[in-house]
A and B are shown apart, each in its own frame.
Chain A
């Protein structure tokens, strides 16, 4: 057989090059799609060339595993609805973390080199935390688990105990001290169980509203774990090291940006148990006043400027198409229509843009929070469609759990119409003052139906 092992490193180098170019292209809307194709092609070639690594066996197992894993990943990702993308990202990220933990485990079963083992232990710890945490994030977003924070007394203490014990057992795995009568076969599984346990526990108290930040952070974690595992081989796998570090750095930056958009610190996200406690002693004045679609249609027809503030509820109700129709109809009547996009509307930054793009709404109509906030006082009608926490004026009131979070100041508009399914609270579980304001009217019902009714009523006018 011809020796092709010389090809491995050049291909890995090219892979890294295309990953970076791919990410670079993904950072601009016009070239974004080609970016993922470049990265994908590089990944495919890297996978093939890996089969040429010297001394490999178990090729049949490898092929079977790739078919099972790849088949699952492909089918699940093809079937999932756009609204459910965030939890799919969490799930695939968790799988990456799990794979990294697995590589660490295999390395630790074989190696006797303290330096390699240390890196594998750290990689295993981070990978296992990312795996367990991402699974919880997936379960919460998928609705298989209560999205509310789960808290109990002494939680921080228990979490820290788990982390400390995991680190201690990790150190024992590396040092393998002879004065302890236990063998590695005892504390290696213990190390992974404790690491996984810590990942589960630290994600439990985090509410659904904070999940984007959490998923992003676990994404960075997995990157870091992959990078560390790159050193667990006899010759370091620099493709893993570099790709992992790039994801670790990029993911960390993305996490900070997201947290900043919500005006929350990272430690607050992880230890704040956001939404678990009710604000006490605040009585909201006024009452919720409902309105029907015909009246809203009249209001819209005589408006000069309408701003639509969409939230995740719009996506859940699959109302994007109807909203797009409504937009076209209003524009045909010469009314100025804009969309106000809060950075964390939906379940992830930019999620709302993706959903609106899917419905065919043009970029030119989308404005982010800082651009649109000064325009609300001069707006005749604001339609809040399935958004709640991001338009809650409680964020301006000291003492509220939302205090300090930058919001869309829709309450400054002349009329505010809230399309809402019922009288429930938002994802963060906090009462919304906006619904009780004098200039607010509630249009109850499924967002898709309500938007459809508005279109019908407007056509009749």
Chain B
């Protein structure tokens, strides 16, 4: 039972986090849906941190192997997610250079 009791604070946190996620997304215009999906894809790249701890605490060769693969996958999620999102959002940046822009006038 103590285990279950220890989970209650986590439920409070989870509820507030879910609400935050909902509120942050609810006012997003359609044009930002793709970059936002990519951005949230990047944010769950925090899984890398967990994979690092899992690998770091691994003792048997099997655990090490699984942890190693998990870190590779997590690292790809983080960097790939970031670069894709950054590239998409670059298109919306009106201040600086406009990639591929050609003017006829």
Which A residues form the contact surface with B (CB < 8 A)? 15, 19-20, 22-24, 26-30, 32-33, 35-37, 39-40, 43, 46-47, 50-51, 53, 55-59, 61-62, 64-74, 76-78, 80, 82, 85-86, 88-89, 91-93, 95-96, 98-103, 105-107, 109-110, 113-116, 215-216, 219, 222-223, 226-227, 229-233, 236-251, 253-254, 257-258, 261, 321, 324-325, 328-329, 332, 341, 343, 348-351, 353-354, 357-360, 363, 366, 368
Question: Is B57's CB under 8 angstroms from A253's CB?
Answer: no
Chain A residues positioned under 8 Å from B20 (CB to CB): 20, 246, 249
Question: Is A53's CB under 8 angstroms from B56's CB?
Answer: yes
- In the assembled complex, the Cα of A341 lies from the Cα of B30 at a distance in Å of 10
Known A-B contacts A92-B76, A95-B77, A325-B104; the reply to A26 vs B39 at CB < 8 A is: yes
Question: Is A92's CB under 8 angstroms from B77's CB?
Answer: yes
Chain B residues positioned under 8 Å from A350 (CB to CB): 30-35
Between-chain CB contacts (< 8 Å), 13 pairs: A40-B82, A43-B42, A65-B68, A65-B75, A69-B73, A78-B83, A110-B57, A110-B63, A239-B46, A244-B47, A249-B17, A251-B37, A360-B98
Q: Closest residue to A69 on the B side, CB-wise?
A: B75
Known A-B contacts A56-B56, A95-B73, A254-B36; the reply to A46 vs B46 at CB < 8 A is: yes
A261 CB, nearest partner CB in chain B, Å = 8
Question: Is A92's CB under 8 angstroms from B56's CB?
Answer: no
- In the assembled complex, the Cα of A251 lies from the Cα of B104 at a distance in Å of 41
- In the assembled complex, the Cα of A258 lies from the Cα of B34 at a distance in Å of 11
- In the assembled complex, the Cα of A360 lies from the Cα of B92 at a distance in Å of 10
Known A-B contacts A72-B76, A219-B44, A226-B46; the reply to A106 vs B52 at CB < 8 A is: no
Residues from 12 to 62 in B contacting A, C-beta threshold 8 Å: 13-14, 17-22, 24-58, 60, 62
Question: Is A27's CB under 8 angstroms from B56's CB?
Answer: no
Chain B residues positioned under 8 Å from A101 (CB to CB): 70
A65 CB, nearest partner CB in chain B, Å = 4
Question: Is A226's CB under 8 angstroms from B33's CB?
Answer: no
B52 CB, nearest partner CB in chain A, Å = 5
Chain B residues positioned under 8 Å from A325 (CB to CB): 102, 104
Question: Is A96's CB under 8 angstroms from B40's CB?
Answer: no
Q: Closest residue to A96 on the B side, CB-wise?
A: B77
- In the assembled complex, the Cα of A211 lies from the Cα of B100 at a distance in Å of 28
Question: Is A98's CB under 8 angstroms from B46's CB?
Answer: no
Question: Is A249's CB under 8 angstroms from B39's CB?
Answer: no
Chain B residues positioned under 8 Å from A242 (CB to CB): 13, 17
Question: Is A96's CB under 8 angstroms from B74's CB?
Answer: yes
Question: Is A354's CB under 8 angstroms from B35's CB?
Answer: yes
- In the assembled complex, the Cα of A243 lies from the Cα of B50 at a distance in Å of 12
Chain A residues positioned under 8 Å from B17 (CB to CB): 227, 241-242, 245-246, 249
Chain B residues positioned under 8 Å from A238 (CB to CB): 13
Question: Is A226's CB under 8 angstroms from B36's CB?
Answer: no
Chain A residues positioned under 8 Å from B24 (CB to CB): 20, 23-24, 27, 246, 250
Question: Is A348's CB under 8 angstroms from B34's CB?
Answer: yes
Question: Is A230's CB under 8 angstroms from B50's CB?
Answer: yes
B47 CB, nearest partner CB in chain A, Å = 5
Chain A residues positioned under 8 Å from B52 (CB to CB): 47, 50-51, 53, 56, 62, 66
- In the assembled complex, the Cα of A366 lies from the Cα of B29 at a distance in Å of 13
Known A-B contacts A43-B82, A103-B50, A368-B30; the reply to A250 vs B67 at CB < 8 A is: no
- In the assembled complex, the Cα of A222 lies from the Cα of B70 at a distance in Å of 13
Question: Is B76's CB under 8 angstroms from A69's CB?
Answer: yes
Chain A residues positioned under 8 Å from B28 (CB to CB): 26-27
Question: Is B37's CB under 8 angstroms from A36's CB?
Answer: no
Q: Which of A55, A57, A93 has most chain B Cβ within 10 Å?
A: A93
Annotate B77-92 by CB proximity to A: 1 below 8 A, 0 otherwise.
1111111111111111
A430 CB, nearest partner CB in chain B, Å = 24
B99 CB, nearest partner CB in chain A, Å = 6
A385 CB, nearest partner CB in chain B, Å = 18
Question: Is B32's CB under 8 angstroms from A62's CB?
Answer: no
Chain B residues positioned under 8 Å from A22 (CB to CB): 39, 43
Chain A residues positioned under 8 Å from B47 (CB to CB): 96, 99-100, 103, 222, 226, 229, 240, 244
A312 CB, nearest partner CB in chain B, Å = 13
Question: Is B34's CB under 8 angstroms from A85's CB?
Answer: yes
Q: Closest residue to B3 on the A side, CB-wise?
A: A115
Chain B residues positioned under 8 Å from A226 (CB to CB): 44, 46-47, 50
Known A-B contacts A40-B82, A62-B71, A219-B40; the reply to A109 vs B60 at CB < 8 A is: yes
Q: Closest residue to B69 on the A side, CB-wise?
A: A102
